Structure 1
């Protein structure tokens, strides 16, 4: 997706503006639709640096300034026409963004951790980020309200031809590596060699019972496994892919190699001395490397298909393109109503 369009520009600018808005410096431009706003050279310099930090280097300072003027026009137009957010709505938007980030990283964050992420990634405080995303939301809402006809389902829905073309161009990316779905019976090791020998002997006895059928694997999990996370699920840990070096380092090479040597329903012939403890391993499902078709799920753990994923990507791309076009039209209309004075001069 092309991130150098106006939408990305506005996102970058809101970040830059929020951090420097209070600066008093030489004016680069003034904008007046409903009130006079000064865009300072300090704000412009900050915005240009934001571009550069995003890897965008082929945009001049005057082009950035024009985008900042466009953003200010939209914000003033939105305020004039009643497209605003209450403080409670801003708080809800911030909470939603935090929850989305937590979902991506797979864990909850304290307020202090959230602040640290914002500081490290964006150089912003929570308050500045809250204002920034609120501005972005208002900009998007206002443009969409002014140009509703441009955001029709038909305009945003990719055609079958577009889906197929995208798939053909990116087919090498749609693959599933060899994978196993596993269950474990785990007993923890200690720092005492004698105790470890006793633990190993006990688990070897459990394995013998499972093999001769006097106890099921699942029953053995409930009686003997010390892995609390998987114990309530019959020992099920989930899926491992053969290219996952992180899990290979976590579990150990012996564990990993044994898992991928087993077929569906098979149990390890011996207790494994792994990095996480002594383990009896059962493979619930073993899948081979596969080039995915359009109708295949993206992974064994997902219901979304390759087509679903491509449709989502293309919809996002189309939405960005339509937003860019709609924004340009709204800015043109507002420019005709406003008084704009550009004072900044680029050095020759």
Structure 2
């Protein structure tokens, strides 16, 4: 029986697919594509796995994870067959993966590597292909990865674990194998951004309109004006690449940018950061290269005091029980970014709580910014701090905000236990149950497809479980008629 089908192959495989150099081959071939000099190591349905496929994937796994275990070749071949089996079943089930979905995923992967290499030109130079060639080469692979994921999700979506199952799972773990956890905290915040005086806002808008006219009239270049005046010191007059399929950008900024043609300069508009004008440098599909000038209306001490007074009132309502912290955060907090740069949502969208990229609200103090860590030293569990002025983005020192902080929970350093780590243990128990369900699915469905495994691998690792579910063709490979 297949023991544990670890699906990192198709979960992380999309990234691996783009870790290529010029001329590298990474196809799952059909019969008509197969190079004459290569060797077939496995077939499932109409999908052929070549020796070169397997070797290529092993190289990429080693690049990503370091030295591989002795049985890595068997494991990776099984994972490749598993992915192909899921793809075949997804096609039978007519699972909805549209061409638009595939195109969007391709754009996301390509944009990731553009950001990694610094520019589209550098990425194309390293890979040895244009964006068009990359998309053409990997479109089928990406679609197969998405189909495999969709079928996997369909198989395990109804799997749940009861408290009894969680306890049983935990009790089977040897006590000396239980992990040791550092102290973890759950922390929330409510942020108020001081509102500038309306007259100051109008002065800022007027200054941007003047800069815009200088650029449009040809008196000054946008790049020079951005270098001189923009408060976004990280970009200045540099080109900024934005991808509107990502949710890490301000929606108003993205909307304003994608209304422009090449060379055009936008009217003045407001984002969560301040007031902008944008120049479109170039655009290709969902990717735009822009320059922008950001001006932030100056905040006075009076504006900050108003924000502190508002947070004082909110804090008092929370302390006296008139308002729940989560409700107050959802209603009043200005930390409303849909998604921050590290992929986590703004705290307004999580009841005020900070979250890790995996969605967990538990974190060590090293995961928090130093300003909050200092505040936690003065708080007991359940307490809410007094309002404190801080700078959300060190690269924009003029943009100050005010916040109150909640210390929701704090654990002591401890050995894993049901009492303190139930959610983690529950997730582990659920994962194991999902893997068992998936193993049962493969045991049931392997006989439904034509299957051939080269004799070299037929008794290799968990592949012998595939062999048990098929009949010998007399030549060492396993062949089962398709149904």
TM-score band (shorter)?
Answer: 0.5 to 0.7
Query: Counterpart of 1:42?
Result: 52
Query: Counterpart of 2:353?
Result: 238
Query: Counterpart of 1:261?
Result: 378
Q: Out of 4, 20, 27, which is 1:19 matched to?
A: 27
Residues 48/259 of structure 1: CA separation in 2 closer, same or farther (3 Å cut): closer
Q: How many angstroms apart in 2 are the aligned matches of 1:289 and 1:32? A: 51
Q: Out of 127, 130, 135, which is 2:140 matched to?
A: 127
SS of 2:173's equivalent? helix
Aligned residues: 288
- Normalised by the size of structure 2, how large is the TM-score? 0.41
Query: Counterpart of 1:163?
Result: 170
Cα RMSD of the aligned pairs, angstroms, is: 6.1
Where structure 1 has 5 or more consecutive residues not aligned to the other structure, the ranges are: 99-108, 145-151, 299-304, 343-348
User: Is the contact made by 2:167 and 2:418 (CA closer than 8 Å) also made in structure 1?
Assistant: no
User: Is the contact made by 1:183 and 1:281 (CA closer than 8 Å) also made in structure 2?
Assistant: yes
User: Is the contact made by 1:178 and 1:287 (CA closer than 8 Å) also made in structure 2?
Assistant: yes
- Normalised by the size of structure 1, how large is the TM-score? 0.53
Residue 232 of structure 1: how far off its partner (Å)? 11
Q: How many angstroms apart in 2 are the aligned matches of 1:257 and 1:129? A: 46
User: Is the contact made by 1:265 and 1:284 (CA closer than 8 Å) also made in structure 2?
Assistant: yes
Residue 294 of structure 1: how far off its partner (Å)? 0.9
SS of 2:305's equivalent? helix
Q: Say whether residues 1:186 and 2:193 are aligned partners.
A: yes
Query: Counterpart of 1:314?
Result: 432
Residues 126/195 of structure 1: CA separation in 2 closer, same or farther (3 Å cut): same
Residue 27 of structure 1: how far off its partner (Å)? 4.6
Query: Counterpart of 2:228?
Result: none
Q: Deviations over 1:204-256 (max 9, x none)?
A: 3554687699x9689xx99xx893629996996323877455641xxxx4454
Q: How many angstroms apart in 1 are the aligned matches of 2:473 and 2:432? A: 35
User: Is the contact made by 2:38 and 2:51 (CA closer than 8 Å) also made in structure 1?
Assistant: yes
Structure 2 counterparts to residues 289-304 of structure 1, below 5 A: 289-290=411-412, 291=414, 293-296=417-420
User: Is the contact made by 1:4 and 1:56 (CA closer than 8 Å) also made in structure 2?
Assistant: no
Q: Deviations over 1:39-71 (max 9, x none)?
A: 65534543553564454352487x689869x94
Residues 28/329 of structure 1: CA separation in 2 closer, same or farther (3 Å cut): same
User: Is the contact made by 1:180 and 1:285 (CA closer than 8 Å) also made in structure 2?
Assistant: yes
Q: Out of 472, 476, 479, which is 1:336 matched to?
A: 472
Q: How many angstroms apart in 2 are the aligned matches of 1:275 and 1:268? A: 17
Query: Counterpart of 2:68?
Result: 56
Q: Out of 389, 404, 418, which is 1:272 matched to?
A: 389
Residues 294/340 of structure 1: CA separation in 2 closer, same or farther (3 Å cut): same
Residues 139/27 of structure 1: CA separation in 2 closer, same or farther (3 Å cut): farther
